[in-house]
Amino acid sequence: MTSACEVNFDGLLGPTHHFGGLSAGNLASLSHRHQVSSPRQAALEGLAKMRRVANMGVAQAILPPQRRPHWECLSECGFTGERHEVIKQVAKQKPKLLSVAYSAAAMWAANAATVSPSADTTDGRVHLTPANLRTMPHRRIEAAPTTRMLREIFADSRYFVVHDPLPDAANFSDEGAANHTRFCQRHADRGVEMFVYGREGEADDAEGRFPARQTRLAAEWISQQHQLWPQRTVLAQQSRRAIDAGVFHNDVIAVGNTSVHLVHEHAFADQASVLQELNEKFGGELTTLEISEAELPLEEAVRTYFFNSQLLSTGETMTLVCPAECERSDAARKLIERLLAETNPIAQCEFVDVRQSMRNGGGPACLRLRVVLTDKELAAIPPAILWTPKLHQRLSDWIETHYRERLSIADLADPRLADEVEESLDELGRILGNKRLIA
C-alpha cells in the first residue's frame, strides 16, 4: 500500500515585510496601511508556527523569501541606472511603486501555486502550476521567481511537473492554492479537488465592492493540465456577498482536510448545489461542518480569520491551528468550543500568534502551501529546506542578525536597505547550501 504525507511548505517572511496597504479587498492590509512593521518579529512568528506544526508530527518545509526590491519591475517602469540612485528616484517620484517593488507578500505561500498529488493525476506525477497573481501588481512580480524556485525544489521529472504560470491575461487570473481544496480518505488515496473561482470572465464583477480575483477559465485550465479526472473535480463560484465582505480568497471562508470540510454558509454561490456535488463525487463519508451567519457573522470571520486556520491530520484525529485573534473573539472562541465538544474528527485546537502577518492580511493557512508527497517523492526534494531543530536555530539566528526590528514606509527610500537584503539572502543561500533556491 502506497503511503503519503502532507508537507506544509511555509513561506519564510522576508526582511522587507512592511504595511503597504496594496491589496484591494483585503481589509486587514488596507486598515494597517503605512503603519510601522517589524520584519524581525514577523519572521520569528512564522518560524515559531513552523515549529509548532512540526512538533505535531506534520512534515514541515520552508520556501525562502524572494529577492527585493524587484529591480525588473522598476526597470520596466523606466527607472534604470545605478541601483542606489534608482531607489532615490522612485522614492521621490513614485513612492507606491517602491512599496510594490519591496513587497514581501511571497511569504503567503498558499498563493505560490496550485498542487495536485500524484494519486490524483493520470500520469502519476505531482503537478504544480505557479500562480500568475495578475490582479495585484505587488503579487504579479512573484510569478517568475516562484516558478524558478519550484523548479529547483521539484526538479526530478520522474516525480514532478512544474508548469508555466497561466497567461498574463485577465481571463486567466490565478491566485493559487488559496482557492483550491483537496478531499480524500487518506492522503495517499485518489482525491476530489475543488477549484473555487470568483468570476467567469474578464469584467463580469464590475459592480462589486472588491475585485473577484480567480477566474473559472483559470481553474478549468489548471485542472486539465494537471491531468485530473473530471468526475473527481468540482468547480465552485464564490458568493459575491463573501467577496464584498473581504473574502478575497476561498481560504478566508472555508478550510478542508482529508474528509472534513469546514465552511461558512455564505462561502459559495448556490452553496447547496456545490456541497451536494462535492458529496456525490467524494463518494464516501465527507464531514461537512457548515457554520451559520448567526454563529459567526461574515464580518467576524474575516476579522478573526477563523477559516484561515490550518486543519491538520495529527494521528487519528485533526488539529485546528487558529490565529490568536480567534481566542480573543467571543463568537470564534464559542464556535471552536462547540466543534471540539461535538462528534467530528476535530479534537484539538491550538492558537498561534502570527500578528504581523495578520495585520498585513494573511493568517496561518495563508503562510503555507500544502503538498502531498509519497516517500519517494519526499526523498527527491532538497533536504536542506526540510524543518529540523538545527535549521530552526540557524534561521532564528540569521533573522536576529539581519532583520530590522522596525520598518516604516519612509525606510524603503533608504538605499542601504537594498544592500542589507542582498547580504541577508546571500547568507540564507549559504545556510541552505543552494543559492538557486533564493529566486
Query: pLDDT, tens digit, for every residue of 343-393?
Result: 999 999 999 999 999 999 899 999 999 999 999 999 999 999 999 999 999
- Give the pLDDT band (50/70/90) at residue 284: confident
Q: Which pLDDT does position 206 carry in this prediction?
A: 55
- Whether the Cβ atoms of residue 8 and residue 59 lie closer than 8 Å to each other: yes
Residue 239, pLDDT > 60, answer yes
The mean pLDDT value for 66-90 works out to: 96
CA distance 14 to 126: 27
221-224, Cβ contacts within 8 angstroms, sequence gap of 24 or more: 221/166, 221/172, 222/114, 222/129, 222/166, 222/174, 222/195, 223/193, 223/195
Residue 202, pLDDT > 70, answer no
Give tens-digit pLDDT for 116-142: 999 999 999 999 999 999 999 999 999
The mean pLDDT value for 90-106 works out to: 97
The dihedral through the CA atoms of 359, 149, 406, 23 has a sign that is negative
Nearest Cα neighbor of 67 from 189, 158, 190, 149 is 149
Helix or strand run (H / E) with residue 290: strand 287-291
End-to-end distance of the chain based on CA atoms, in angstroms? Answer: 37
Give tens-digit pLDDT for 24-46: 788 878 888 989 999 999 999 99
Q: Which pLDDT does position 433 carry in this prediction?
A: 93
Active-site entry in 17, 249, 266, 402: 249
Q: Which pLDDT does position 29 carry in this prediction?
A: 86
Lay out the sheet containing 59-63: strands in order across: 59-63, 4-11, 368-374
Q: Which pLDDT does position 26 carry in this prediction?
A: 83
Active-site entry in 45, 366, 377, 402: 366
Is residue 327 annotated as part of the catalytic site, yes or no?
A: no
Residue 222, pLDDT > 70, answer yes
Helix or strand run (H / E) with residue 346: strand 346-352
Residue type for position 115: V
CA distance 306 to 320: 10
The SS3 call for residue 52 is helix
Is residue 366 annotated as part of the catalytic site, yes or no?
A: yes
Active-site entry in 142, 175, 193, 350: 175
CA distance 306 to 296: 9
Residue 306, pLDDT > 60, answer yes
CA distance 187 to 313: 9
Chain centroid to CA 181: 12
Residue type for position 190: R
pTM above 0.85, yes or no: yes
Residue 427, pLDDT > 80, answer yes
- 122's CB contacts (< 8 A; 6+ apart) are 227, 228, 229
The mean pLDDT value for 414-434 works out to: 96
The helices-and-strands tally (H runs, E runs) of the chain is 17, 15
Residue 204, pLDDT > 60, answer no
CA distance 216 to 186: 28
Q: Which pLDDT does position 31 carry in this prediction?
A: 86
CA distances from 115 to 94, 109, 193, 268, 307 (A): 36, 12, 10, 22, 20
- 419's CB contacts (< 8 A; 6+ apart) are none
Residue 56, pLDDT > 60, answer yes
What share of the chain in percent tops pLDDT 70? Answer: 98
What is the pLDDT of the chain when averaged over all its residues?
96
Q: Which pLDDT does position 145 carry in this prediction?
A: 97
**Which residue, chain included where needed, has cell 519572521?**
43
Is residue 138 annotated as part of the catalytic site, yes or no?
A: no
Assigned fold of 4-68+103-437: L-arginine/glycine Amidinotransferase; Chain A (3.75.10)
Domain boundaries, the chain: 4-68+103-437
